[in-house]
Amino acid sequence: DVATKAKFLRQMIILLQNSFNSIVKCSKPVITSIHGGCVGAGLDLISAADIRYCSNDAFFSLREVAIGMAADLGSLQRFPKIVGNDSLVREMAFTGRNITSAEAKELGLVSSVFSEPKESLDAAIETAKKIAAHSPVAVQGTKISLNYSRNHSDRDGLEFMANWNMCMQQSQDLITAATATATRSETPPIFNDL
């Protein structure tokens, strides 16, 4: 029965979409390190991440068209916002063509390209350590604001942050971080879990 199959497929697609959406919804920044092929669902996954690094051997493709379907896990929604080139996104989505790591860097899909996969992974880990040294209130507030502002006007984004910060700036994190910065403390500040 077509209706039963359609209902089941829709439920499965939504289940998979929700798994990828959990990356966006994660309160902590998600960092990816890509090497080799980042194809189809791989591009869906990294499009949901906050920071993307790759090695020279990485290539990226919206390949779903080659298997007779339209991408349905987020790359068609997120990838255009990341790279800001509608024509290229459409070309990739309609043809399944690859883009190289150099093209990905030029487009803003990745922050940095490294010569070896290990260098890319090491950079991702180092970035994670730098982020982890900061106030969780500040980091999570920044991620929430960036995600909110992506789909709202500047005015709405500023209003959202005014409401966010009127609460969150009452935490001890602001005092702890400001004191460590002002005193040029040798030891990193310790923050409470959020």
Where residue 152 sits, what CATH number does that domain have?
1.10.12.10
Residue 8 sits in the same domain as residue 103: yes
Which range of residues forms the domain containing residue 65? Answer: 2-131
Q: Distance between CA 11 and CA 48 in Å, rounded?
A: 20
Residue carrying structure tokens 């092929």: 37
Q: Distance between CA 95 and CA 98 in Å, rounded?
A: 9
Residue 190 falls within a domain, yes or no? no
Rounded to two decimals, what is the model's pTM? Answer: 0.91
Supply the DSSP string of 116-133, one letter for each residue.
Answer: SHHHHHHHHHHHHHHHHT
Residue 89 sits in the same domain as residue 160: no
Q: Using pLDDT thresholds of 50, 70 and 90, give the confidence band for residue 30.
A: very high
Residue 82 sits in the same domain as residue 164: no
Burial class of residue 41 (count of CB atoms within 10 Å of its CB; 0-12, 13-18, 19+) = middle
pLDDT tens digits, 57-113: 999 999 999 999 999 999 999 999 999 999 999 999 999 999 999 999 999 999 999
Domain boundary among 93, 115, 131: 131
